[in-house]
Structure formats: structure tokens, C-alpha cells
Structure 1
Amino acid sequence: MFWRSVVGKLAVTILGLVCFVLFILSILLLQFFENFHITKAEENLMQVATKISLLLEQQENETFSEEFVELIKDQTSRVAIVHADQQIWVSDSADENLTAMEPSWLDEMPELQRVINGNVEVQEEIILPDTDFEAIIVGKPTRNGAIFVYQSLNVVNETKAETRKIIYFGAAVALILTTFFAVFLSTRVTSPLIKMREAAREITKGEFNTKVPILTHDEIGDLAIEFNRMGRQLKFHINALRQEKEQFSSIVSSMADGVMTLNRNGHMIVVNPPAKVFLENLYFENNIPIDEKNQEIPAELKGILQEVIEGEKKAVREFNIQGRIYVMLMTPLYDGPHVRGAVAVIRDMTEERRTDKLRKDFIANVSHELRTPISMMQGYSEAIVDDIAETKEEKNELAQIIHEESLRMGRLVNDLLDLARMEAGHSQLQKELVEIKPYLQRIVKKFQGVATENNIRLMHEFQLTVRYVSLDPDKIEQVFTNLIDNAIRHTDDHGFVLIKVKNSESELYVSIEDNGSGIPEEDLPFVFERFYKADKSRTRNKEKKGTGLGLAIAKNIVESHGGTISVKSKLQQGTTFSFRIPLD
């Protein structure tokens, strides 16, 4: 809008000021010239009257005086000479409306009486008797009477009208010139400001290289120079802040501990990857759907945040989530003297606790696994030596038990050796291109009979867009065997085991889900450790025993393929094992 712009405001201000000045000046000039013309006309008439009075005093010849009066007076005026006997002589006039003075005028007009009787000069504007005609009359007393000179006021009015036209014309010209120069000056002044506004708009969009052209060398030019300098400084500081932010983000992202900054309302500002893992597990534990757009923390963390903000002191909490142990240290974050939020440092203590537990349990687990077969072999061998078994069949039966227990010890030792070799990196993968769909169908078919015998539905979903995958088929089949066998053994009658396999552009994703008894939360961190075994009361086939090394071996096989394996479980709801291996 023109009226809202600086150009419009400046132009209207200048124009309004000039109009006000011209208005006052025009009124004063009109008043001045109106009075000036009337005064000038009265002075001219008075000069004529004075000359005539002097002539009459020096010349007694009336005929000569009258002829002289006709010569010196204006053609549009009349001269009236009043003698002592009240006789009046009136000159001719070219103005027909200007009537001749009559003796009755002396009685009707007090102004004339004052000249004759009062012996004073008079200058008046009158209306001629018996007419509406305005006139100017001057009177000058003489020794024997008075002299009156009068003329029509129209002559003065015409002069005033011409003067008024000249004044109005001058005011109009001044107004037009003022309007032109006001707009020109306003545009000239505001043009650099408009360019600065456009440059400021570009800077707000991030174009810090925008420069304002320096059009003048006055204050506005200096403003443009400072604006360009401000843009350069702003670019320098923004780049410095960006570098600091990137450096800070890199440091936080590379930290092994989780870091999370929160504002007073409980909204997350900065969250690094370990903290995201903690939040995902916390959401899953509380049955809260994970939404990447949701920037609010769960209610239990809000309580800790409120405690930190109100008390302005740090708070330490320990969380047991999905079998993992997290320790959170939350401290207030200050903005001057006020607390504007908090920063939480989250450390996963699971590995430290697991290491302590493994260190305590390893010897006990190995001793337990070896003690049972050794005790059985020792007992049955003593029975044979002591001839407790009398018949050959009984001896063969005892020998068979000893043989089975020795095989069990052999399997345990072999599994330990295989696991040790894989952990030491001495196990070599025999990778080859495998047609993935028939390979998976063969594995599912292998377990279909076992699932049917146990009244369990074995289902599968394959969503594959690739035909061949590079992997070690024997070792990956060993992973499938361990996971599917565990799922069947820990699932009750009429339950299900679902095998899902899909792929993205970069990896193969496998999940094996069941609705069995589940794994206790306190045991989840240790399921991939050596000698871990589920509680026998939750095992469907109690007669089939394992060594407790299957999941540890599966984890090492997946990791040797460059992948990851994980588990999620809830008691009496089921368990889901999943692993990912890269396609490349």
C-alpha cells in the first residue's frame, strides 16, 4: 500500500505541510492586497481632491476650474464641488452607473455632513442613495465648502479579482511542484531503504552473501556500509555457531553413554543414539507406541524432571527395562539464575553387571554341566565293576548309559571349543550365493513334523525382493535350528511359531516369534551367554536337554556375518528372536 509506505508517508507529510503554509499565505496575501487596493484607491482620490482644493484657493474663475478638474480626474470617477450656498457642481464620468451628487445626499449621508460642518477629511465606502451601487468617496473641506471625489468600487473589485487569480495560480503551481519534488525526494531517500529491506529478507532466508548497493555517500550510504558489514559478521558468527553445533553433535553422538537434554515442559531437545535405544525400550515396556514425531518423555521421567527443576539438585535413578539395567543421572540446566531444563546422562550397566555375574557363574555352570555325566558314568561303571549287573543285558544297558553320557560330554566340549574358536576369530565362514527362498522352505519343512507332533502351528511369511544372498548356509541353518527348536520347546499346545523373513536394500531381516511362556525380565540380558538355560518349569519338553550354548553360538555366527541379534519377551505372552545380516 502506498499510504503505508515510507514514500507515501514522507510525500504526504511534505505535501500537507506545504498546503498548510500556502493556505495561510494565500489568506494573508488576499487580505493584504484587498486592503492595499482600497487604500491605494482612496489615496489616489484624496490626491485629486487635494489638487482641486489648491486650485480653487488660487483660481477664482469657476469655468477654468471646472475645465481643469475634468482634465486631472480619472475618467471613471466624479468630482463634486459644494459651494458655501449649498450649490453643487458635479463633473462628468464615463461610468453610467455612477450617479451625480444631489443636495439631498448632504442630508442623507452623515459622512458628507462631517466634511462640510466638521471641517474634516473623510475616506469611506458607501452605497449611493436610491441605488445598490457601491462606491468609494473622499471628502476634503475648503474655505467656502467641500470637494468630494468618488468612483465605483467595481474598479477596485476587478483589480482584487485579478490579484486573486494570480495568487491562486501561483499556489497551484507551487502545489504541483511541491508534489513532484516531494515524491521525487521521498523515492530518492527511501530507495536505499527498500533495497536494505530486500537484502534483510534474503538474509533471513540464509543468503548471507547478499549486499546492499551503496548509492549515496550520506547517512543512508553509511547505513548501507554498516548493513553489509553486519551481514559479513553475521555470516561469520553463524558459521562459527554451526561448526560448534556440529562439533557438539558429533561429540554427543559418539558418546557411549546416552545423553538427553530436556526443557521445563518435558520436551526432548537433544537425544543421542544410546539415549534413543533407552527410550525405545522404555516405550516398549510401558506399551507406548513409538512415534518419531513425539518429543515428550514418559510420565516416570517427567516426575524425575519435576523433582530436579523444583529442587535444583541432581537425581539418580536405576531402571530395569527388558532385562537391561540403566542408571540415569539427571542434573539441572541453568539459563543464568533460572533453571531452563535438565540434562540426563544414561549409562547401560548391563554389561558390567553381566560380567560380574558371568565371572561368578562360569565355573559353577561348567562344574554343574560336567558333574552330572561324570557322576552317572562313575556310578554305572562301579555297578559293572562290582558285578551288580549280573546279566549281559543289564551290563549292556549300563554301558549304553555310560556311552550316552560320554557323548553328551563330548558335545559339551565340542560346543565349548567351537564357541572359543568363533570368539577368538579362528572360525572361517564358507560363504556362497544361496537361493534364499528354497533354502528357507527346506528349513521350515524340516521342523514341520516336530511342530505337528507337539500341536503347534509353524507359520512363515517371506517378503523377499532378492533371489540370492551371500552367506554360510550351514552356520545360518544352525542359527535357524537353535531359534526354531527353542521356540517349539517353550510353546504350549495349540500355540504358534511364526517365521518372518524380509529384506531391504542393504540387509536381510529374520524374526522368529512364539506365544509361549516367555523369558523372565531378569534373565533377558543373559540369554546369549554360555550355559544359559530356561527354567525347566517353563520348558515344554522336559526330557530334551541342551547344553546352554546354542544361543551363544548363534550370536557369534550372526556377528561373524557382520549382523546383529536381539530378543524381546514378556512372561506368558511370548518371545521374539530377530537377527539381521547385511546383503553385501
Structure 2
Amino acid sequence: MKSILSKLWLGITSLVLFILIIIWIFQVGFLNKFYVSERTNNLLKEGNEIVSIITKSKNPQIVSEETMSRINSTISSFNAQVIIIDSSNNVLFFNAPHNVPKRNTETIPERLLSKINIEIEKGETFIKKNTRLNDSFYFITVGIPIKENGNMNGYFILNSPLAPIKETTSILKNQLSIITLASIIIATFLSLLLAKLFTNPILKITKTSKQIANGDFTARVKLESKDEIRDLGDTINNMAVQLGQIENFRREFIANTSHELKTPISLIRAYSELIMDVDGEDKQARNEHLQVIIDESKRLNTMVEDILYLSEMEAGYYKPEFKNFSVIDTINSVIKKLSFLCSGKNININIIAANENTLISGDEAKMYQVFFNLINNAINYSHENGNIIIKVNNINDMVRIEVIDNGKGIPKEDLPYVWDRFYKVDKSHKRNNSSTGLGMAIIKNILEAHKFNYGIESELNKGTMIWIEI
């Protein structure tokens, strides 16, 4: 398999060679045709302009000063031979090109006219390329009829010698050979340099990606350039950070889950062993042990359900089903279900609502769970004989719900983490009978799935307020 370095080098070098081949084809192969075509077009254009001047003169049979001036300019520009003949083929004007040998120049008009006699008889514009008048020179001959009111008054003939193209082509070949050799050497060096500059960052990215794939999430791509490859490197670095965070979460999740599951399992095992040791007549002790086993089994089952439920939401499988429902009725239903916890700690819950018929749009079952977890937490972290206030305010098109307790509160440094799984504000990790450590994470995922705003405010030993804006 060819490396990207060799592919880039071959690609750039091949491109330079292709361009050089095109130059050779046009500069050497088509040089003669191009030169003859350009000279022909220029002579034809010049001849038509002079014929126009002759036609406009008072006496076309006499070469005027204006015509002579333009003819001299043409002769100078094209080293051309100009012949003007009348309708009877009498030569009215003639000159010989400067680079034609002097010998027999006086016979050139007769020799030329004899070669183009058929074309002259047709009375039309004609072009003859490579007309040979002697052993050394070839000419381009352009003939333009001089007509006035449809009557033929004569012919204007331009005869221009062709420069020796073979010598020019030979010189051009030598020059192009040197340019080609130099271009290939320079192109090879520059393409290799550019290929290295381009591939080195890619090799760094590849090396770092392999390190990340092998579990080294501290690996980073360090690039100095400011281009798309730098953006790719930054993306790889960001991916490493994200994967590192996921790996840390995975380890913490396993550790926390193991810790949370270990205790109920240990209690179930311990009390099961105690039941075996209890005498058959001591029913009270046996019932107490069995109740502990039942409670811990329920707790274990709730934790597993919460873990599965949270995993489903974070994987993106959960989509809320929106419908309108009464928020006050839902909160009252939650309070009724948690009334036994309130009575145990003598906690009073008050609902303050501007409108008892306030409706919100959302997934009613999931929002029930949100309110259940919020109020349950408020009860758990409230002191005995405490108060919990639930405010429901209508603000324009928004409903703001606040759950306020006057309990233990949360330290300021812990507030950003209360939404994390298994996060413990109480660093002693004392267990609460009804807590799985996943309630706030579930609340967060449900609210974010609904695209509802939420937040928390708290002060240590004064209480906590959690708000939701719908």
C-alpha cells in the first residue's frame, strides 16, 4: 500500500509533467500552423483595409498618397511584397521583399501572377499558403479583388515571406528541454517538501488516535498550523477529553453502583442468616428480619429500575409525549402518595398557585416522576416539623414551578454536581431508606428531553429551592 506521502509526491510531479507535455505539444507541434494562421489573418485584415482606401479614392487606377502611405506601413510591418494590378492584369504597383535575393526580383510579379492566374480569373478573395517562388523562400499570398459598384477594377495582392520555422523550432526545443529538466527537479523537490508538510500533521493525528484507541485518553495532538487539519486535531483532542470523561464516569458508575447494590444485598444475606438462627417460637424477631429483607429487596429493585430508566433516557430512546394536563392535580397526587413520609416527620406542604386550573404541556407520567422526586427529596432533607412550599406562577406564556424547603441546604461548592448520578452531598455516605442516588439525574434528563429550563438555589442550614420553567 502506497503511503500518502508517495501519493502526493507522484500526484504533484505528474501534474507538472502533464503541463510540460501540453507546452511541448503547442509550442513545438503546432508552432508552424499557428504562425501561418496568424500571419494569414493579419495579411487578410491589412489587405481589406488598403482595398477600402483604394476604392474610396477618386481614381482607383492611380495609387494615391494615402494608399501609398498605408502600403509602406504594411511593407514595413510584414516585409511584404505588394502588387496592384488593373482589370487587364497590368501591374500598377510592385515592390520586392527586403530579404529576397536581388536576382530575378523583377520577374517575381510575372512568375507570381502566372501561379495565381486561375484565382485571379475567379474574381474572388483567395489565400495561397507556402507559395514557392525560388529554392529558398516560401510565401503566403493573399489576393483581394478591387471592385466598385460590382465592376472589377483590379486586384490587390499581398505576398509575405514565411520566416524559417525549423531553426526557431530547433532553438525552442533546446530551450524547452532545459526548462523541462529544471522544472522536473524543482517540482520533485517542492512536491516532496509540500507532501511532508501536509502528511506530518496527519501522521501525528494517526499516532495520537492509536494512543486514544489503546485507552490513553491523556494523549493530545499538537499542531502549529491554522487550517482544516488543525481543526481535525482539535476535534481529536476534544474527543479524547470526552472519552476520558466517559471512562471516568464508567469507573465511577461501576464503583457507585457496586457500593449502592452491595449494601442491600449484604443486608438481605445477613438477615436471611439471622432468620435461620431464630427459634421457631420467636415470630416477632422473624417478622422484623423478614421486613428488613422485603424493604431492601424493594430498594434493590427500585435502584435497578432507576438505572435502566436513566440509561434508556441518556441513550436517546426516550421521546416525551406532549399533552395538556393540570399541574396542580399532578402535584396534589404526589403529595397524597408521600403523605405518610410527611406525617412521620410532621412536615407541612403548602401549594401557592395564582390559578388552580393552570395547564402545562408535557409527558404527564414523566412529569409526575419529576415532581415525585423533587418533593420526596424536599421531605428527606427537611427537619422535623418543617415546611415545604410549592409555588406555581404564571408569567406571560410561561409557568414557573418552585419547590422550597427549609431543611439542611446544600453547600455552594456542591450545587453544580447535584444533578450527577450517585452524587453525595453528605460525604459520610450515610444511606437514606428511600434514596437510590439517581433521582436528580432522572429529573435532569426528563426536563432536558422536554427542553424545559431548570435550576437550583440553596444555602447551608437555611433550605433549598429548585425551580422549573415550562
TM-score tier after normalising by the smaller chain length: 0.3 to 0.5
TM-score (norm 1): 0.35
TM-score (norm 2): 0.42
